[in-house]
A and B are shown apart, each in its own frame.
Chain A
């Protein structure tokens, strides 16, 4: 193997990767935030709703979970504007897609968490005279959060990695930056080594931060 690693060209274009990473994080944070709202609302609705609503929510979840994200990205970016007269940028399109996508996964996480809250705690909430809304806010959600935090952390990391799919519609996030450097320098091994390291370090940092939150929730509060 006569290949010699040469990172010089990578460092010269490192701003593409650094800027890309920041955009990746931005896409993930915004999409997850919207996804949390979608997931919480639908999960709370699901556990208290009748069959029709449950079926509709389940259909949404199943649809999203059984279609590859890349297809959804194409569908929203190329498909929707063709059918209805609506123009939006690639990043916006991707945030919409990833929000709806993460929402479906988070509904499942939150729903199973809500259903795992021990019945006795809800009884205790009823017994002291809390209204259904108060029981949700002060009893069910806090306990659900503690139960779901580990699963939630894993979902968040997953969704952060999923932002790499945005490169297929030319959103200049980290993977797109890597491709750009590759096309312009042909240092394929180096650029993907560095990019991999960047995903890895960021992913681990996120996981570490989330585990700290988990521990805080378990111990101090």
Chain B
């Protein structure tokens, strides 16, 4: 469990984060550190809090206690320690430091592929249209969609839309990329093209935290795997350790067994 995070300071530091929706505790004192260049995959049964945790990292969800820091800076609350929510302006600036790719793509339907990528570059990063356009074209090329720059989301397949979604996120040069079940809404034959893009980003050293059900991909692409159950971190370690069939962690073993049964 001791990892590279012990010798270099964590880029993302989640410390004892808890959150409840009414009487239901979705996160129970979750702690996790991610160092620069790491690819951390969160797995676990549905309802275990994976997505909620991910959404707390860019404060799409607030949390009740604990802290989440990126480069030492508290994400959603002011550093004063009073748990005072940041102003919307500050939150926007903090969120620009992370990129997020969504399960349902969430492209802006009125903008072309290039337009989707350019919006953040022009409005948040303050780049000129020409500059933003050339950055957008560069990233569309990286995800194999250079020829689709002027297509609307409705004219693209699911896999293509998701690749635009990835390009939109990474074009902002985020410190961390958050991937929330990005292949779950795709037809099986389109999953590969999206995962190939993620893999190439990982090879470039992009720091990523992802929630996925693609176990084979998690095993191959992750530096560490986090297994969540009942809102807490139940196991964490290198893929080989966590995904080992002979694990002593009862919940993990049940999860993996059920997973193998339904996917093979």
Contact = CB atoms under 8 A, between A and B. Distances in A.
A197 interface: no
A124 B88 contact: no
Interface string B86-99: 00110111011111
A129 B60 contact: no
A120 B104 contact: yes
B58 interface: yes
The interface size bin for chain A is 20 to 34
A130 B108 contact: no
B168 to A, nearest CB: 7
B120 interface: yes
B109 A123 contact: no
Contacts of B147: none
A146 B88 contact: no
Contact of A143 (B89, B93, B109): B109
Contacts of B102: 120, 123-124, 127
Nearest to B99: A127
B124 interface: yes
Interface residues of B, number: 29
A154 B39 CA distance: 52
A131 interface: yes
Interface in B139-163: 152
B106 A123 contact: yes
B260 interface: no
Interface centre among B60, B99, B168 (most CB of A within 10 A): B60
A221 B110 CA distance: 6
B166 to A, nearest CB: 12
Contacts of B123: 130, 134, 138
Given A123-B60, A123-B102, A128 B124 contact: yes
A128 B104 contact: no
Interface in A105-137: 118, 120-121, 123-132, 134
Interface in B203-251: none
A131 B89 contact: yes
A134 B97 CA distance: 17
A142 B110 contact: yes
A129 B108 contact: no
A139 interface: yes
A129 B120 CA distance: 7
Interface in A135-158: 138-139, 142-143, 146
B184 to A, nearest CB: 13
Contacts of A127: 58, 60, 95, 98-100, 102, 169
Given A123-B60, A123-B102, A138-B123, A130 B92 contact: yes
Contact of B110 (A118, A123, A125, A146): A146
Given A126-B60, A129-B172, A130-B124, A146 B109 contact: yes
B172 A131 contact: no
B34 interface: no
22 contacts: A120-B106, A123-B100, A124-B102, A126-B60, A127-B60, A127-B100, A127-B169, A128-B95, A128-B96, A128-B99, A128-B168, A128-B169, A129-B97, A129-B120, A129-B172, A131-B92, A132-B88, A138-B119, A139-B108, A142-B108, A143-B109, A146-B110
Given A123-B60, A127-B60, A128-B120, 11 more contacts: A120-B102, A120-B104, A123-B102, A128-B172, A129-B92, A130-B119, A131-B89, A132-B92, A134-B124, A138-B108, A143-B109
Interface of B: 58, 60, 88-89, 91-93, 95-100, 102, 104-110, 119-120, 123-124, 152, 168-169, 172
Interface of A: 118, 120-121, 123-132, 134, 138-139, 142-143, 146, 217, 221
